Amino acid sequence: MNDPIIIGIDGGATKVSGWIIEYSDRSHLFHITDENVQKKYADYPGFNPAYKPVDIKIQLKEMNSGVFLTEEEVKQGNIYMTAASDVIIELIKKFKGKNAIVGIGMPGLKTRDKRGIIALLNGPRMPEYARFIETRLKESDMSLLSPIAHLGSDADYCGLGEEYSENGLFRDVKNAYYLGGGTGVADAMKLNGTLVPFDQAKTWIAKAWEMKSDKELSLERYASSSGIQFIYSTYSHIPVEELNKNEVYPPQILGKAVQNEEAALAVINDVSQYISKLLFERIITIYSGWSDFFSLVNPEKKIEEKKHVYKGTLLDRIIIGQRLGDLFQESKTTPLLWKQIVGNLTDLFNSVTKQELLDHYLKNKKFNPDMIAISRLREAPAIGAGVDAWLNFKNH
């Protein structure tokens, strides 16, 4: 009864969600409860639905030279941080008298102390994120059992969720790659039986959002809900604000593509093409090292090592998660997306001469669709945030 409540926070570009996560002493696994609070940023006064993030190249440059937040960025950031605070406050109130520990997953690059966000593709920079939340909690006469140790990568938290949850798809395999698409894109790896954060592997592999297509768009655009919507807006000439108002999201875009709408078909074709190439790049990079399949968003970034300690690794599973996983599942009843990706991967393997790769990934000379599994852990980042908070609390 004296165990602290574990709160896992999953922050995105449109809303922040918080869940109570429970740990089992018997199984040493975690599961998500029904206790959930969500806050949409758009419901807060002063929210700017047409907010345009500072150009990512400027953000990356200012990481080293000093961050200059714009006035609009500060306003939008305060709304994001207030919403996250409100989620935590409401969850603690539900368990009056209970101590709480909090893990927070947010997209974007973190500050040096890992408690703030210094670069974010789809939103405002928030260098004081953790301090802002702790201050708001104190103002509400609440305190955490321990300070927020750090903001985690939502991608790493997806990996933790898949590894430590009862229904996780990392648990029963030795080598796997995870691609999740929600507000942003998340990728995670488990190699030689151990979770390998992309930040620890950055000398030999790039994150999905760091790579760009030959159309000069970050691969995040093709794997995330907001990105797919952005591409549809470009093709259809319908503003994103109008698409949101009319509830036109990736499932609806897929539906329009099935009905042969030209703009929607172009979007699904692009998504299929670049996700196929991304999955192929992961397979080859993990097996034999960086091969320059994609150029990088930041021209100053270089992949330094062509070889790595995991060379020769064959994946047991490719996991597609979050809303991208839902979209994959939905597309299985159509001729689009799922079948296109399997076909595209088959074509990409035509360039492979290494028999070991062909034997492992192909079945009857076609890419084996059973290699791709769709995660049922829609809330993997929140579970992972709770896992990280608990492990950090226990180890300190």
Domains of the chain: 5-154+380-395 (3.30.420.40), 169-374 (3.30.420.40)
* CA–CA dist 395, 258 (Å, integer): 51
The set of residues, in sequence order, having a beta carbon less than 8 Å from that of 98 and lying 6+ positions away, is: 4, 5, 92
- Specify whether the CB–CB gap between 268 and 337 falls below 8 A: yes
Taking all residues of the chain, what is their mean pLDDT, rounded to a whole number? 93
Instruction: For residue 3, give the DSSP letter.
Output: S
Of the pLDDT bands very low, low, confident and very high (cuts 50, 70, 90), residue 115 is very high
The set of residues, in sequence order, having a beta carbon less than 8 Å from that of 283 and lying 6+ positions away, is: 177, 315, 318, 357, 361
pLDDT of residue 2: 61
Instruction: For residue 219, count other CB atoms closer than 10 A to its CB.
Output: 26
pLDDT of residue 1: 42
Residue 16's beta-bridge partner residues?
11, 39
Burial of 61 (0-12, 13-18, 19+ CB in 10 A): middle
226: which 2 tokens?
Answer: 């907001």
The pLDDT tens digits for 50-103 are 899 999 889 989 998 889 999 999 999 999 999 999 999 999 998 876 789 999
Residue 190's beta-bridge partner residues?
176, 195
Composition of the chain by helix, strand, coil, percent to 5: 45, 20, 35
The set of residues, in sequence order, having a beta carbon less than 8 Å from that of 241 and lying 6+ positions away, is: 49, 50
pLDDT of residue 97: 62
* CA–CA dist 150, 77 (Å, integer): 18
Of the pLDDT bands very low, low, confident and very high (cuts 50, 70, 90), residue 121 is confident
The set of residues, in sequence order, having a beta carbon less than 8 Å from that of 155 and lying 6+ positions away, is: 180, 185, 186, 187, 188, 198, 207
pLDDT at 282 over 90: yes
Question: Cα angle at 84 between 80 and 85, to 5 degrees?
Answer: 115
- Average pLDDT for residues 252-259, to the nearest whole number? 97
- Specify whether the CB–CB gap between 380 and 155 falls below 8 A: no
Of 388, 395, 396, residue with least CA distance to 154: 388
Of 120, 87, 106, residue with least CA distance to 12: 106
pLDDT at 177 over 90: yes
- Average pLDDT for residues 332-336, to the nearest whole number? 96
N-to-C CA span, the chain: 21
Residue labelled with tokens 């996983």: 325
* CA–CA dist 71, 323 (Å, integer): 32
Instruction: For residue 78, count other CB atoms closer than 10 A to its CB.
Output: 16
* CA–CA dist 173, 280 (Å, integer): 19
Instruction: For residue 54, give the DSSP letter.
Output: P
Question: Cα angle at 320 between 317 and 323, to 5 degrees?
Answer: 165
Question: Cα angle at 326 between 323 and 327, to 5 degrees?
Answer: 90
pLDDT of residue 154: 84
Helix (H/G/I), strand (E/B), else coil: 322: helix
What share of the chain in percent tops pLDDT 90?
79
DSSP count for the chain of H helices, then E strands: 13, 16
Question: Cα angle at 158 between 152 and 164, to 5 degrees?
Answer: 100
Can you say whether the dihedral through the CA atoms of 265, 266, 271, 273 is positive or negative?
Answer: positive
Half-sphere exposure of 86 (CA within 13 A, CB side): 15
Instruction: For residue 16, give the DSSP letter.
Output: E
Q: What are the backbone angles phi and psi of residue 59, rounded to the nearest 5°?
A: -60, -45
**Secondary element (H or E) of residue 220:** helix 220-223
